[in-house]
């Protein structure tokens, strides 16, 4: 309930119904944003002058994160970058937070790990890469553990705000289409939490790490039927009436894309990292049920012949190669 309210507050577009109501709500929350701004500044200064200590490592550490609350494409970028580095001969270690999992202690993640214990994104990464994956909330300890594994580099999926964690490079993912023409875009003073979705700003950070800003744009290019092993181009799906079941941060972006591709979409949206019980994909028809791979990680144990997985690709495929080039030079 709260997630849905905040997503509406942060990502409602100008021209949508109740836009001005949410603008007033955003302005009403500005005093809390001011307090949050002050805390960010103090915290950054404490780390800058080493009153609070940043721990550095003997292996290159790359943190992939975003300044904005909500799905900006960190995990797909993490997977693609880890695979590119592995293709170039590097042994990659990877840390995921295990967000909303039942276990926040350090855990080695395998492709068959239970997402309820280590997190859906951690399992997705383990299945999609050859990296050594560790899940847990203590990012420093996880990094130290990977250093002992003698990896060539360590990638953190998220962790931008963990200033105790020393890093050689920050990759800040910005999906401009997600917040274009929102309240925080039209009224810059409404950016910071809780008035807006921005949890950090560049000048708050005061870190010496190399910083790369990446504007990610994805395109849904095919759907996969996991039980039959079929891969069908998104434009060639014979049934255009579909159910869209998503437990991700910004589901409306995928919904709009499918509508623009000619689909009639019956949307069923849940909170990010939703804990599925199987009822969410049962309907009184045989229309296809589209989900993301992140959702499927938790839905695969429920048998449903109508389930299809959306697969995405980058519109700008040079991004990964350019980032890998820079990491190898560290």
Same-domain pairing of 192 and 226:
no
In a domain, 8, yes or no: no
Domain-located, residue 32: no
Where does the pLDDT of residue 126 fall: very low under 50, low under 70, confident under 90, or very high at 90 and above? very high
How many structural domains comprise the chain? 2
Answer yes or no: do 132 and 245 share one domain. Answer: no
CA–CA dist 97, 107 (Å, integer): 10
**Closest by Cα among 107, 132, 131, 112 to 123:** 112
**pLDDT reported for residue 178:** 66
Model confidence pTM above 0.95: no
Residue-wise pLDDT for 287-322, tens only, equals 999 999 999 999 999 978 999 999 987 777 789 999
Give mean pLDDT, residues 96-125: 89
Q: Is residue 14 part of a domain?
A: no
DSSP 43: H
Together in a domain, 146 and 244: no
Q: Is the pLDDT of residue 195 over 80?
A: yes
Pick the more confident residue, 191 or 148: 148
Domain presence at residue 187 = yes
Average pLDDT rounded to a whole number, residues 228-235: 93
- Least confident residue range of 52-61, 199-208, 305-314: 199-208
Whole-number average pLDDT of the chain: 90
252: containing domain: 218-314
Q: Does one domain contain both 70 and 194?
A: yes
Residue 304 lies in a domain: yes
Residues 53 and 198 in one domain: yes
Are residues 82 and 203 both part of a single domain? Answer: yes
CB neighbour class for 27 (10 Å; exposed up to 12, middle 13-18, buried from 19): middle
Give the range among 54-58, 125-129, 290-294, 299-303 with minimum mean pLDDT: 299-303
In this structure, the answer to whether residues 59 and 196 fall within a common structural domain is yes
Low-confidence winner among 19-23, 155-159, 166-170, 217-221 (lowest mean pLDDT) = 217-221
Which is nearest to 220 in space by CA: 175, 256, 273, 271?
Answer: 256
Looking at the structure, tell me whether residues 161 and 126 fall in a common domain.
Answer: yes
What share of the chain in percent tops pLDDT 70?
94
- Alpha helices for the chain (secondary structure H): 2-11, 19-28, 30-48, 74-87, 115-118, 120-128, 139-148, 176-179, 183-186, 202-205, 251-260, 293-299, 318-328
Q: Name the residue among 307, 293, 311, 268 with its Cα closest to residue 121.
A: 293
Q: State pLDDT tens for residues 275-286.
A: 999 999 999 999
Judge if 54 and 139 occupy the same domain.
Answer: yes
Q: Is the pLDDT of residue 329 over 80?
A: yes
Task: Give the residue among 116, 72, 80, 77 at the shortest CA–CA distance from 98.
Answer: 116
Q: Which of 207, 193, 210 is nearest to 52 (CA)?
A: 207
d(CA 14, CA 314): 27
Residue 278 covered by a domain: yes
What tens digit of pLDDT does each residue of 103-113 get?
Answer: 778 999 999 99
pLDDT at residue 2, rounded to an integer: 66
Q: Please check whether residues 76 and 132 belong to one and the same domain.
A: yes
For residue 6, tell me if it sits in a domain: no
Residue 176 lies in a domain: yes
What does each C-alpha distance from 246 to 74, 83, 94 come to in angstroms? 17, 26, 25
Higher pLDDT, 86 or 102: 86
Confidence of residue 204 (pLDDT cuts 50, 70, 90): low
Please indicate, yes or no, whether residues 244 and 199 belong to a single structural domain of this protein.
Answer: no
Say if residue 202's pLDDT is above 70.
no
Domain co-membership, 167 together with 64: yes
**Rounded-to-integer distance, Cα 284 and Cα 122, Å:** 33
182: CATH: 3.40.50
């Amino acid at each position: 309930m709260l997630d849905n309210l905040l997503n509406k507050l942060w990502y409602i577009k100008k021209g949508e119904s109740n836009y001005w109501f949410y603008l007033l709500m955003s302005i009403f929350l500005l005093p809390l944003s001011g307090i949050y701004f002050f805390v960010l500044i103090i915290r950054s200064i404490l780390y800058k002058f080493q009153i609070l200590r940043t721990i550095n490592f003997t292996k290159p550490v790359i943190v992939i994160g975003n300044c904005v609350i909500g799905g900006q494409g960190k995990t797909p970028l993490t997977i693609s970058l880890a695979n590119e580095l592995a293709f170039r001969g590097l042994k990659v270690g990877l840390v995921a937070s295990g967000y909303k999992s039942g276990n926040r202690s350090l855990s080695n993640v395998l492709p068959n790990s239970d997402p309820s214990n280590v997190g859906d994104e951690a399992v997705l990464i383990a299945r999609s890469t050859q990296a050594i994956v560790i899940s847990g909330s203590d990012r420093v300890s996880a990094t130290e553990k990977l250093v002992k594994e003698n990896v060539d580099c360590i990638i953190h999926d998220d962790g931008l705000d963990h200033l105790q964690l020393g890093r050689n490079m920050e990759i800040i993912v910005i999906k401009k289409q997600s917040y274009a023409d929102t309240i925080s875009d039209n009224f810059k003073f409404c950016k910071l939490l809780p008035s807006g979705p921005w949890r950090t700003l560049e000048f708050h950070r005061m870190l010496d790490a190399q910083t790369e800003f990446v504007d990610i744009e994805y395109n849904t290019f095919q759907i996969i039927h996991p039980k039959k092993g079929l891969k069908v181009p998104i434009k060639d799906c014979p049934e255009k009436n579909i159910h869209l079941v998503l437990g991700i941060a910004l589901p409306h972006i995928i919904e709009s894309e499918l509508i623009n591709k000619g689909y009639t979409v019956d949307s069923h949206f849940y909170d990010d990292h939703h804990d599925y019980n199987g009822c969410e994909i049962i309907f009184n028809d045989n229309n296809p049920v589209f989900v993301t791979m992140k959702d499927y990680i938790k839905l695969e144990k429920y048998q449903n012949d109508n389930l299809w997985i959306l697969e995405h690709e980058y519109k700008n495929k040079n991004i990964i190669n350019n980032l890998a080039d820079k990491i190898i030079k560290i």
